Homo-oligomer: A and B are copies of this chain.
Amino acid sequence: MKFYDCAGAPSPRRVRIFMAEKGLDIAAQQVDLRAGEQFSDEFRALNPGCTVPVLELDDGTAIHEAEAISRYLEAAYPQPPLMGVTPVEQARVAMWEHHMEHDGFLAVAEAFRNQSSGFKGRALPGSHPVEQIAALVERGRQRYRNFLADLDARLAQCEFVAGPAFTLADITALVTVDFAARAIKIDVPSEHAHVRRWHQAVSARDSAKA
């Protein structure tokens, strides 16, 4: 297997943390997103959507999208489970993972990609050009603030995002919070004590270094 990675980009980090939690050590190849390597013919043959991360299996199968790669690794390496075991647990992780991605991760990406000069013409990931829209910068920032408030209410009820155990939903939430602090300069406000408690705990895991 080979993992197409980009140090510093948030989506591949979701998979790096997932692999670290599973104890997997998969050979990685860096894709230089700043130089536009994801638009090369070679990379397009692997993923026509021109995004990282990609996991290439030994038979040549290329799996893209962080969640799909996680799904493969969970099925192929079930221990420790990170996506739930029983039907209800699996559904809870899928539900919270969806919230973390849509309401959190995509909100930060919306603010960042519509603002940064490096993303001109690439306001959304993918192979098609998408122009920046200035109004989406503040919309994305407000959506992220709403997300933090909702996450605080959730973490008042349970130790981790999807319940009593650390799961994929915590990984996506951790990457989102760190991405926001760096890319759009929004830290977790001090009134969100539950998010701060949780962030400290998940950041102290070995996998968070990935």
Contact = CB atoms under 8 A, between A and B. Distances in A.
* Total copies of this chain within the assembly: 2
A197 to B, nearest CB: 21
Interface string A74-102: 01100000000011101110110011000
Contacts of A196: none
Contacts of A130: 139, 143
**Which of A91, A95, A126, A150 has the largest count of B CB atoms less than 10 A from its CB?**
A91
Given A94-B65, A94-B68, A133 B128 contact: no
Contacts of A126: 103
Interface of A: 48-49, 57, 61, 63-65, 67-69, 71-72, 75-76, 86-88, 90-92, 94-95, 98-99, 103, 124, 126, 128, 130-131, 133, 135-136, 139, 143, 146, 150, 153
